[in-house]
């Protein structure tokens, strides 16, 4: 395919927000918004692979989203289960999909059968190279940093490293995104101007793009607009 963008971000991170409002506008239960949102997620994955994005990270469920009603949480987990099952089946019959899939977030607290499916999908896709897809589930940016810091503290306690030897890189290596580049562009549909605990460490120099479109209405053309705008930004990283 001919190159579509002059300046394509290497890593795009998306906050899949607005499912509930979308459903409400249509007089439907919130869970219907999540259902359509899950389809949009699949479409945007495909599109990112098509245009050559190397890494794309989607925020699907935060450590704070457990506060929602049992009905809503169960519906989201069921959609996630169906996605994992389909993924597993598709990998058996369609090896060329080329998606490397990883899950960011705490496994603890997730339903046991889902943990097993997540591990299987990660293992099965570990050698795929077309695109890296991360799905943040039971993910919290602060939780992730605490997790990394605890690892480092344990190594200090064992005498493997000294406190003065701790580096930014060590903290990065203890995050769920270890080994992956930081996001260049973070997109939040549905018009909220906040990160909601998403990729707090990794977003240090990310470009932010807020869109009014609700996630279930999100299309490849909306992503094109964000990428074009990204291409016009002047990233300075603190320099002049
Ligand atoms: C995002 O949509 C999905 C999750 C957070 C799980 P919301 O459910 O937050 O939708 P709004 O923000 O209420 O519209
Ligand atoms: C962020 O959306 C989490 C996900 C999209 C998974 P929220 O809807 O939970 O964020 P707040 O509550 O508006 O900050
Ligand atoms: Mg929301």
| Count of domains forming the chain | 1
Q: How far is the C-alpha of 214 from the C-alpha of 204, rounded, in Å?
A: 25
Q: For 69-98, what is the mean pLDDT?
A: 86
Residue owning the nearest CA to atom 8 of ligand 1: 20
Q: Which of 13, 14, 17 to mutate to test the pocket of ligand 2 (most atoms within 8 A of CB)?
A: 17
Is 103 a pocket residue for ligand 1 (Cβ < 6 Å)? no
Q: Which domain holds residue 69?
A: 11-140+182-232
CB atoms within 10 A of CB 64: 12
Task: Reduce the DSSP state of residue 146 to 3 states and report it.
Answer: helix
Is 76 a pocket residue for ligand 1 (Cβ < 6 Å)? yes
205 domain residue, yes or no? yes
Q: Is the pLDDT of residue 93 over 90?
A: no
Residue 44 · residue 227 · CB < 8 Å: no
Would you state the structure tokens that stand for residue 224, as one six-digit string?
Answer: 């094109």
| Nearest atom in ligand 2 to 17's CA | 5
DSSP E strand boundaries for the chain: 11-15, 55-62, 99-104, 131-139, 185-188, 207-210
63 domain residue, yes or no? yes
Q: Give distance in angstroms: CA of 26 to centre of ligand 3.
A: 16
Q: How far is the C-alpha of 138 from the C-alpha of 53, rounded, in Å?
A: 24
Q: Which of 16, 19, 69 to mutate to test the pocket of ligand 1 (most atoms within 8 A of CB)?
A: 19
Angle at 197 between CA 225 and CA 75, to 5 degrees: 85
82 domain residue, yes or no? yes
Q: For 57-75, what is the mean pLDDT?
A: 98
Is 60 a pocket residue for ligand 2 (Cβ < 6 Å)? yes
Q: Which tens digit of pLDDT belongs to each residue from 25-36?
A: 999 999 999 999
Q: How far is the C-alpha of 106 from the C-alpha of 138, rounded, in Å?
A: 6
Q: pTM for the full model?
A: 0.97
Is 223 a pocket residue for ligand 1 (Cβ < 6 Å)? no
Model pLDDT, residue 227? 98
176 domain residue, yes or no? no
Q: Any idea which residue has 């809503």 for tokens?
A: 72
Model pLDDT, residue 1? 58
Identify the CATH number of the domain in which residue 50 sits.
3.40.1180.10
166 domain residue, yes or no? no
Q: Any idea which residue has 């995104």 for tokens?
A: 177
Question: What φ, ψ does residue 57 adopt, rounded to 5°?
Answer: -120, 125
Model pLDDT, residue 95? 53
20 domain residue, yes or no? yes
């Amino acid at each position: 395919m001919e190159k579509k963008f002059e300046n394509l971000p290497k890593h795009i991170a998306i906050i899949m927000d607005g499912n509930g409002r979308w459903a409400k506008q249509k007089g439907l239960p919130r869970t219907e918004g999540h259902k359509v949102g899950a389809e949009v997620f699949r479409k945007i994955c495909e599109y990112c692979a098509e245009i050559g994005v190397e890494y794309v990270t989607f925020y699907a469920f935060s450590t704070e989203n457990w506060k929602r009603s049992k009905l809503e949480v169960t519906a989201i987990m069921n959609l996630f289960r169906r996605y994992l099952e389909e993924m597993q089946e598709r990998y058996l019959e369609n090896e060329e999909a080329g998606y490397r899939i990883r899950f960011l977030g705490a496994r603890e607290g997730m339903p046991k059968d889902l943990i097993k499916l997540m591990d299987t999908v990660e293992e099965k896709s570990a050698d795929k190279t077309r695109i890296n897809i991360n799905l943040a589930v039971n993910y919290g940016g602060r939780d992730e940093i605490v997790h990394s810091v605890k690892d480092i503290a344990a190594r200090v306690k064992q005498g493997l490293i000294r406190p003065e030897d701790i580096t930014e890189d060590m903290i990065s290596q203890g995050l769920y995104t270890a080994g992956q580049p930081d996001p260049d562009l973070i997109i939040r549909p549905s018009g909220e101007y906040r990160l909601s605990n998403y990729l707090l460490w990794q977003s240090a120099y990310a470009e932010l793009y807020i869109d009014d479109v609700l996630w279930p209405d999100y299309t490849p053309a909306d992503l094109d607009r964000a990428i074009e705008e990204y291409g016009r930004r002047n990233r300075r990283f603190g320099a002049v």
